[in-house]
Amino acid sequence: MNRILALSWLTFKEGIRDRALMGICIIGLVMLFATIIFTGVFGYDLGKVLVDLNLSTIAFAGLLLTFFVNINLMAKDIDKRTIYCVLSKPLSRTEYIIGKYLGLILLVFIALFILLMVSSGIIWFVKSFYAQIYFKNFSWACFLQACFYEILMFFVLNAVVIFFSSISTSSFLVLLFTIATYITGQTIEEVMQFFKKEAMAEQLPQINQWIIDIAQYIFPNFSAFDIKTLASHGKFLPMEHTMALIGYSAIYTILLLFFASLIFNKREIT
């Protein structure tokens, strides 16, 4: 366990000192502060607009962080052969995969947590600035629940990064595959619902239906983590839903890390 923690700390340190991370955080902070101005432009439902904009900014920053910092942190190990220094230590390949994953999610968690703190401060400030009638649907619990769901989504997305990094030696391909998975994961539920409509289902060949069914199980359903609209309307999801989503994320992540480790164990580090 010490070895895994040492590697995750090393990965976290390398990531936190990356200037790209600083840039992403600055972009995130600027966007969050801009929500103060944007919210004032709207004449109604200020609470809804505020929550929507803040959650979107946090999600955007998380995506930038995952796509441009975390993928780079993984790919650099193979590209620049820094992996030699890690694997020359008594670490198994599985420990390497877990250590790297923990380092990446710690980085995401810390960065998003800071943005969440700033975001909460901004919401508190804007709320105190305008009449409370504009915020009748606003609920801190809903806002925090939506943030928690977003962070959970990034835990799964970073497992996707690890999985593709174990297959490919090119950081560009890892980026491409991860973006494709993210887009598919965000839209798969809608596509499924569209095709499963009665009229559509009758026209669709059986094979296509199978493909959609299989895709539904293979790709992570990222849209399930996106509850921005509900949060902005002050709708709190029951704890059972949250627990089910935590379970889904944990199973999906463990499976991805398991397969990544299987592949990586077979891989030759030349």
Helix (H) or strand (E) holding 202: helix 198-203
Q: How far apart are CA 116 and CA 90, in angstroms?
A: 38
The token pair at 232 is 């902005």
Under the binding rule (CB under 8 A), the answer on residue 268 touching other proteins is: yes
Under the binding rule (CB under 8 A), the answer on residue 189 touching other proteins is: no
Under the binding rule (CB under 8 A), the answer on residue 22 touching other proteins is: no
Q: At what angle do helices 171-195 and 206-218 cross, to 10 degrees?
A: 130
Under the binding rule (CB under 8 A), the answer on residue 172 touching other proteins is: no
Going by C-beta distance under 8 Å and a sequence separation of 6 or more, which residues neighbour residue 30? none
Q: At what angle do helices 171-195 and 140-167 cross, to 10 degrees?
A: 120
Under the binding rule (CB under 8 A), the answer on residue 170 touching other proteins is: no
Residue number with CB closer to other proteins (11 or 178): 11
Torsion of CA 165, 167, 169, 175, to 10 degrees: -50
Contact residue for other proteins among 13, 196, 197, 235 (CB under 8 A): 13
Contact residue for other proteins among 33, 38, 42, 84 (CB under 8 A): 84
- Give how far Cα 259 sits from Cα of 27, 180, 264, Å: 35, 19, 8
Residues in the interface with other proteins (CB under 8 A) total: 26
Contact residue for other proteins among 22, 34, 85, 200 (CB under 8 A): 85
Under the binding rule (CB under 8 A), the answer on residue 110 touching other proteins is: no
Under the binding rule (CB under 8 A), the answer on residue 206 touching other proteins is: no
Going by C-beta distance under 8 Å and a sequence separation of 6 or more, which residues neighbour residue 88? none
* Amino acid (1-letter code) at residue 16: I
Contact residue for other proteins among 1, 41, 44, 80 (CB under 8 A): 80
Contact track, other proteins, 121-140, x by CB under 8 A: --------------------
Which residues of this protein are in contact with other proteins, per CB under 8 A? 2-3, 6-7, 9-10, 13-14, 17-18, 76, 80-82, 84-85, 87-92, 95, 268-270
